[in-house]
Amino acid sequence: MESAYTGISPADYAAPFDTVNVSLYKYFNAASGQFWSDRRS
């Protein structure tokens, strides 16, 4: 979500980490939910 403001790609933001979690509630105002990704994905 910050990528739209900074121009830094999501892949570049996630590169230093083993897993990434995106909260659907926080960013998309969903009732609940999240998704996780790791380097194997």
Confidence of residue 26 (pLDDT cuts 50, 70, 90): low
Number of domains in the chain: 1
- Residue 35, SS3 per DSSP: strand
Q: pLDDT at position 21, please?
A: 81
**Structural domain boundaries, residue 30:** 3-38
Q: Which residue has the higher pLDDT, 26 or 9?
A: 9
pLDDT surpasses 90 at 8: yes
From first CA to last CA, the distance across the chain in angstroms is 19
18: Cβ contacts below 8 Å, ≥ 6 apart: 38, 39
